[in-house]
Structure 1
């Protein structure tokens, strides 16, 4: 039985062409990408040890080995962070953990006050599972009519994978789906991630499952929205991590004048309240 760590290493190895690392072309290969032997040599470990890691038979490689594999695979900074995270949770699979449970939806009062100061900007407090915990009125205006905020406890990941409207609302639905699936690995806790995956997987099906197992670190470019009222919006995202709560405060900035004007018009449509906290 494999592990997330082994799956990620194997996926990255299969995606690398030997020539890109200055290695000779050795002709036809059974599988695409970098040979296991070549990766082992670059990382300074044995082929047998690399095989055990990839197949999940060794779940506790040292920090030095993890860093060596990151160097050998020429991982980006984001990919290195993901590799270290997978190493941590893979090692923890051998120890007893609390049973799966949903993530807390509590937002500190100070965070809510900060969010209020961002009015009339577009901002939201969420976690990596996609739970939408609090937002400004402008966020409500932008998302209004999409269906995202219709639920009593809105969740972006669930919306993306189970609501057909999401595929129209997000102009780059595949990219957004990649982001949300990847972020499930970064849930507030492993227990939260297990709970959410068990709940969502039967509803989302293979669209979610294959993305979870691919471990592709998303680029997170501009967010393009096809608003139900007509305007096309392009929003740049700036995210502030709130590590104590395992939450994020994200601000959305119009990328162009047309988007800014459209957001202004949406914001001035009648709506009660200026800030909504969901608990």
Structure 2
């Protein structure tokens, strides 16, 4: 992992924002579609020399005012502004709100969380920790995931399965989008100096190569709370699922719930669970807002 995450973030975003998006004329002789360093410095009201020091990692402690001005100039979303602050604090030695107070890596779900899972049956739902270990799941998720190979390992991990198991690419019709989201959640949800993150990142760097490392290096990717997946299931056929994610921040865990996106998927999941059609109801996209 880079030791200049803040500088990489600023440079990546500067090169991604077009002059038109920043309200600047494009000009006929531009060699890059992004902003020049001098243009961003002018928009943010800082000197080019200071912005250079930030991007090169020679200054890692910008003020809140400077961060706000840079975020405004780059048109950052709230999620990306939070990541910018997080990277700034970690570059300065750690953010007590993100690093020091972060819970230790969890290996089990609380009994009350397991009780919630019981009440979600037969919906496919699972609890994962911040590096993607599967800690608990419904029987509905077992029937969905087991034939795909997701639960074959003694300690299943979603990222390890997605990037290293050949069956994952056949299972997920939208593999690239699922991979983007999982890696974005990994980057945004875990303190960057966490030893478990480093161990998993090092493993996937070796086993998955550029498929993982390019995504992990892309600081512009942000995780989605809701999303969709298209799965080719060996027993149930083509499934279109919507995904809702609920955070359990005190434990560093997430509850992930998969819902049928159409009537055909709802009926297929009912058959997979040995139930008459109608136990699960399709959720229209308009209902997820």
Query: What residue number does 2:205 align with?
Result: 201
1:23 aligns with 2:24: yes
Query: What residue number does 1:229 align with?
Result: 235
- Cα shift at 1:187: 4.1
Residue number among 245, 260, 263 corresponding to 1:257 in the alignment: 263
The answer as to whether partners of 2:160 and 2:204 remain within 8 angstroms in 1 is: yes
The answer as to whether partners of 1:40 and 1:50 remain within 8 angstroms in 2 is: yes
| 2:20 counterpart SS class | helix
Instruction: Out of 142-151 and 53-62, give the one that drifted further.
Output: 53-62
Deviations 1:10-41 (A, max 9, x none): 11111111012220123323433111111111
The answer as to whether partners of 1:187 and 1:193 remain within 8 angstroms in 2 is: no
Query: What residue number does 2:172 align with?
Result: 170
Structure 1 residue runs of 5 or longer lacking an equivalent are 270-279
| 1:25 counterpart SS class | coil
1:152 aligns with 2:140: no
Query: What residue number does 2:129 align with?
Result: 127
Quick one: distance in 1 between partners of 2:37 and 2:45?
12
Alignment RMSD (CA, Å)? 2.3
- The aligned runs of 1:67-82 (5 Å cut-off) are 67-82=68-83
Deviations 1:175-217 (A, max 9, x none): 1111122222134443132222123221111111111111222
- Cα shift at 1:93: 6.5
Runs of 4+ in 1 over 6 A off after TM superposition: none
- Cα shift at 1:230: 5.1
Quick one: distance in 2 between partners of 1:202 and 1:267?
38
- The aligned runs of 1:23-62 (5 Å cut-off) are 23-62=24-63
TM score, norm. by length of structure 2:
0.84
Quick one: distance in 2 between partners of 1:193 and 1:58?
26
Quick one: distance in 2 between partners of 1:43 and 1:214?
23
Query: What residue number does 1:7 align with?
Result: 8
TM score, norm. by length of structure 1:
0.87
| 2:197 counterpart SS class | helix
Quick one: distance in 2 between partners of 1:10 and 1:237?
32
